[in-house]
Amino acid sequence: MASARRSLNVVGKPLPRVDAWGKATGRTRYADDLSLPRMLYGRLLLSTQPHALIKRIDVSRALELEGVVAVITGRDVPVRYGIMPVGQDETALAVDKVRYAGEPVAAVAALDEDTAEEALSLIEVEYEPLRPIMSIEEALRLPEPRIHDYVPAGNIHRLASLEFGDVAQGFAEADYVREDLFFFQGNTHLPMEQHSALAYWDPAEGKLTLWSSTQTPHYVQRALAKALELPENRVRVIATPVGGGFGGKSDPFHHEICAAKLSMLTGRPVKITLTREEVFYAHRGRHPELMWVRTGVKRDGRITAMEFQAFLDGGAYSSYGPATTYYAGTFQTITYRIPHYRFQAVRVFTNKPPCGPKRGHGTPQPRYALEVHLDKLAHDLGLDPVELRLRNLTGPNEVTVNWLHITSNGLRQCIERIVEASGWREKRGRLPYGRGIGFAVSAYMCGAGLPIYYNDMPHSEVQVKVDRSGNVTAYSMAIDIGQGSDTVIATVVAEVLGLYPEDIRLVTADTDLTPIDLGSYSSRVTMMVGNAAYEAAMKARQLIFRAAARELGVPVRRLEARDRTVFDRRDPSRALPFAEAARLAEARFGLISTIGSYRPPQRLGTYKGSGVGPSPAYSYSACAVEVQCDPETGEVKVEKVWLAHDIGRPINPILVEGQIEGSVYMALGEVLMEEQAFRKGQHRAPSMLDYKSPTIKEMPPVVSILVETDEPRGPFGAKEVGQGPLLCVIPAVANAVYDALGVRIDETPITPEKVLKALDEKAKGGPGRVGPERKPDFAFREPTRVERPPGWPHYRPHEEG
């Protein structure tokens, strides 16, 4: 495919990102920077109750307030929607019932923000409180009151139960078996930009336009059409540059639909920007997750079988939960060969803001559990934890026991580089008391192999247009959320056409103007948009080369494009400026406008649940973390992080490093500080002051190591980097704390209180562990038995052309 053997001109070079200048001058327009003539300001009234029936809503006083133009409640927007076809359980405003404190129940549009806010206080809502369900245990134990009645039973949202191979046989072959329990606390994305949307209904055209800070304009378009009962082609969504997403702006949101509805009712543009507090309620962040893992090994550390159970706290709505449920058990197998594997998960509803995808979507929790569990296993066996992993690694070009197809795999190189760079062998177990080093590995997908809603169309399409001025425009629905998708598209197109990224004009993220891209989620953009851009640019180049070849009198195959010039490789003096070649091509072929479409390869698995996990490729990471712990205060200070990432090939190394550093930062927040916690049905700290996250002062140095494996399916060999590197940092910190102090904190975040408690317990002769004590009493249904790939691990699928 797009893997290139020739020397590259702009791919792999540390060039500034194409949107850097707009961002460094304050010119980039984010959603809340937009305004339109006669625009109204919208605000949402939030439920004060975590779980209640709405007995009455009276908006008459609000409507009487001068400056208020419209007020809506749930009855005005009653159509259900949701990001996943199986999770159509949301309404833009609560209808008859509220399911979490902070859920919007009414919306106001007014001439200015102060009036809108004043109007909120004039809306009377009468609630009849129901018992709130606030934890996994409660949700499993209490079938009543039910948060939703569309699920078959009680407050159980989704279930998964699969077995690959024969776990009983695998455990029978084991010399040693260990089991552990872990809890991963929920946390939130905390993008610096609050969500914001500006809607404009044009009654003459019967058309709605929404500018929104969203990662998924296409899915928002679909949800708006559904919720507002409009034809999809009468809804235009323009994603504005996203001021931080991390997964938190991947769902269709209340304020988007309310702004649209208010605009339709008033005939005026309406903007709603969430307050910071509302951003905490919008959430869709990390699921709190209780996990149990049991592994059988041979004396030498080779895994014979594994069982993994996960209990996910989904909050009040589905969101991406059906996928998250499977992600709890899907990727354990892409780092390690597990001959017999059983995975069971349950996602419950609780009366809290809905959980969803946060960077790493559903996989940081199980990765944390798995990597700490393996660290303990290694200690039990007297093995170096690195050695234990090396004995179980997957390799390139293999199919996992759950039918995931690994192409390139640089995990072994990542581990070797980390061991070397961090001084692991010299440091592990040898540092003075209080200082420690920890290690872990991880892997992630390069784009979900299946779309959110079933269809057999491409996941990503790019159009490239070359005009007679030599100007090149690339059209793509991809939205830059800071990860650098604009730069990836521009770099790929520029490389193919012999231009520079700054030469490429971009039209992006507009459902009217740009061809499909499903969105900036699941680390799919470099792989999918990159390949589509490559194909479109290659087709344009072909036309330009054919025209230039005739003019220069050389065969097409001898032409090359570089430095804005098309030239004969053998005799570079035979050359045309790119713009001249473009004019010749237009004269000969008409408009130079070409397309590329990307569709991920067919998945190999056919069992129910096999839709979650397949990806064109997987990225790999390994990490070592050195910590200094204070046994007096319990404080954990991260001194240094080494992170090696199998990137395939970097499209732009500055962007890659930036994603690694940002991932490390976010992981450190999750493992040491951050928690989305609740008390008496209410969010404990819906403010940045109370929601503790790392500042510039806590950020340690990070050594980023890029491992190149030249992924055959990636554009120019590239793989993802936006999410994978986060995963291994969290368990590496936990393992480092053990190396430093000899205590195990099996529950995030690792706070000073927990460290002190574990030390105290250890001093009293206990095991020195803080973490969950009991697995909930829950009977999973018998797992569906899935045959392993024949001849596993040596099964080779038929490669696509």
Partner 1 sequence: MAADLTGRSNTVAEATTKAPVRLLVNGQPYELLVPVHRTLLETLREDLQLTGTKHGCEVGECGMCTVLLDGEPVLSCLTLTVEVEGRTVTTVEGLERGGELHPLQKAFAQMGATQCGYCTPAMLLTAKSLLDRSPSPSEDEIREALSGVLCRCTGYIKIIAAVEMAARQMGAPDSVA
Q: Which is nearer to ligand FES, 106 or 279 (CB)?
A: 279
Query: Which of these, 464, 462, 505, 461, lies nearest to 592 by C-alpha position?
Result: 464
Strands 744-745 and 769-770: parallel
Q: Which is nearer to ligand FES, 204 or 696 (CB)?
A: 696
Per the structure block, which two tokens stand in for 195?
Answer: 């969500």
Contact call for residue 217 and ligand FES (CB under 6 A): no
Per the structure block, which two tokens stand in for 266?
Answer: 């008033």
For residue 62, give every residue at least 6 positions away whose Cβ sits within 8 Å of its Cβ, in sequence order, or none: 68, 71, 108, 119, 120, 122, 123
For residue 151, give every residue at least 6 positions away whose Cβ sits within 8 Å of its Cβ, in sequence order, or none: 157, 349
For residue 121, give every residue at least 6 positions away whose Cβ sits within 8 Å of its Cβ, in sequence order, or none: none
Contact call for residue 470 and ligand FES (CB under 6 A): no
Residues of this chain, 56-95, that bind partner 1 according to CB under 8 A: 65-67
Across the beta sheet with 207-212, the strand order is 68-73, 104-110, 40-46, 270-273, 196-202, 207-212, 235-239
Q: Which position among 2, 10, 11, 45 is part of the footprint of partner 1 (CB under 8 A)?
A: 45
Query: Considering CB distances under 5 to 8 angstroms, the limit depending on partner class, which of partner 1, ligand FES, none binds residue 241?
Result: partner 1
Q: What is the largest CA-CA distance in the chain?
A: 87
Residue 623: CB minimum distance to ligand FES, A? 22
Residues of this chain, 89-128, that bind partner 1 according to CB under 8 A: 101-102, 112, 114-115, 117-118, 120-121
Contact call for residue 662 and partner 1 (CB under 8 A): yes
Query: Considering CB distances under 5 to 8 angstroms, the limit depending on partner class, which of partner 1, ligand FES, none binds residue 501?
Result: none
Q: Which is nearer to partner 1, 601 or 700 (CB)?
A: 700
Residue indicated by tokens 């500055």:
654
Using the 8-state DSSP alphabet, how is residue 601 labeled? P
Query: Considering CB distances under 5 to 8 angstroms, the limit depending on partner class, which of ligand FES, partner 1, none binds residue 120?
Result: partner 1
Residue 479: CB minimum distance to partner 1, A? 11
Q: Which is nearer to partner 1, 95 or 654 (CB)?
A: 654
Distance between CA atoms of 501 and 10, rounded to whole angstroms? Answer: 8
Hey, is 415 helix, strand or coil? Answer: helix
Using the 8-state DSSP alphabet, how is residue 610 labeled? T
Strands 52-58 and 97-98: antiparallel
Beta bridge partners of 126: 56
Query: Considering CB distances under 5 to 8 angstroms, the limit depending on partner class, which of partner 1, ligand FES, none binds residue 219?
Result: none
Query: Considering CB distances under 5 to 8 angstroms, the limit depending on partner class, which of partner 1, ligand FES, none binds residue 30?
Result: partner 1
Total residues binding ligand FES (CB under 6 A): 3
Beta bridge partners of 109: 42, 70
Residues of this chain, 203-262, that bind partner 1 according to CB under 8 A: 241-246
Residue 198: CB minimum distance to partner 1, A? 13
Distance between CA atoms of 792 and 341, rounded to whole angstroms? Answer: 13
Residue 356: CB minimum distance to partner 1, A? 17
Distance between CA atoms of 492 and 472, rounded to whole angstroms? Answer: 12
Contact call for residue 244 and ligand FES (CB under 6 A): yes
* Cβ(163)–Cβ(784) below 8 Å: yes
Stretch that binds partner 1, among 29-37, 455-463, 628-636, 787-795 (CB under 8 A): 29-37
Residues of this chain, 518-557, that bind partner 1 according to CB under 8 A: none
Residue 23: CB minimum distance to partner 1, A? 3
* Cβ(257)–Cβ(227) below 8 Å: yes
Q: Which is nearer to partner 1, 26 or 553 (CB)?
A: 26
Q: Which position among 24, 86, 168, 192 is part of the footprint of ligand FES (CB under 6 A)?
A: 192
For residue 375, give every residue at least 6 positions away whose Cβ sits within 8 Å of its Cβ, in sequence order, or none: 385, 438, 439, 440, 731, 734, 735, 738
* Cβ(545)–Cβ(557) below 8 Å: no
Q: Which residue is nearest to ligand FES (CB)?
A: 192
| Phi and psi, residue 598, nearest 5° | -120, 135
Per the structure block, which two tokens stand in for 542?
Answer: 């072909």
Q: Which is nearer to partner 1, 26 or 432 (CB)?
A: 26
Query: Considering CB distances under 5 to 8 angstroms, the limit depending on partner class, which of partner 1, ligand FES, none binds residue 651?
Result: none
Query: Which of these, 443, 486, 479, 786, lies nearest to 615 by C-alpha position?
Result: 443
Contact call for residue 32 and partner 1 (CB under 8 A): yes
Residues in the chain: 801
Residue indicated by tokens 């999410």:
723
Residues 479-498, one symbol each (x = binds partner 1 by CB under 8 A, - = not), give --xxxx--------------
Stretch that binds partner 1, among 133-141, 501-509, 600-608, 649-657 (CB under 8 A): 649-657
Q: Which is nearer to ligand FES, 192 or 457 (CB)?
A: 192
Q: Is the dihedral of CA 479, 481, 487, 489 positive or negative?
A: negative
* Cβ(318)–Cβ(281) below 8 Å: no
Stretch that binds partner 1, among 189-197, 316-324, 614-622, 628-636 (CB under 8 A): 189-197
Residue 635: CB minimum distance to partner 1, A? 18
Residues of this chain, 254-313, that bind partner 1 according to CB under 8 A: 275-277
Stretch that binds partner 1, among 15-23, 53-61, 396-404, 597-605 (CB under 8 A): 15-23
For residue 492, give every residue at least 6 positions away whose Cβ sits within 8 Å of its Cβ, in sequence order, or none: 11, 530, 533, 534, 537, 651, 715, 716
Q: Which position among 353, 436, 482, 634 is part of the footprint of ligand FES (CB under 6 A)?
A: 482
Query: Considering CB distances under 5 to 8 angstroms, the limit depending on partner class, which of partner 1, ligand FES, none binds residue 664?
Result: partner 1
Q: Which is nearer to partner 1, 213 or 408 (CB)?
A: 213
Q: Which is nearer to partner 1, 48 or 597 (CB)?
A: 48
| Phi and psi, residue 4, nearest 5° | -110, 135
* Cβ(155)–Cβ(351) below 8 Å: no
Total residues binding partner 1 (CB under 8 A): 76
Beta bridge partners of 542: none
Residue 383: CB minimum distance to partner 1, A? 32
Q: Is the dihedral of CA 746, 752, 756, 762 positive or negative?
A: positive
Contact call for residue 673 and partner 1 (CB under 8 A): no
Query: Considering CB distances under 5 to 8 angstroms, the limit depending on partner class, which of partner 1, ligand FES, none binds residue 665?
Result: partner 1
Contact call for residue 16 and ligand FES (CB under 6 A): no
Query: Considering CB distances under 5 to 8 angstroms, the limit depending on partner class, which of partner 1, ligand FES, none binds residue 7?
Result: none
Contact call for residue 701 and partner 1 (CB under 8 A): yes
Residue 286: CB minimum distance to ligand FES, A? 19
Please compute Rg for the chain using Cα positions.
27
Residue 72: CB minimum distance to partner 1, A? 17
Query: Considering CB distances under 5 to 8 angstroms, the limit depending on partner class, which of ligand FES, partner 1, none binds residue 251?
Result: none
The contact set with ligand FES (CB under 6 A) reads 192, 244, 482
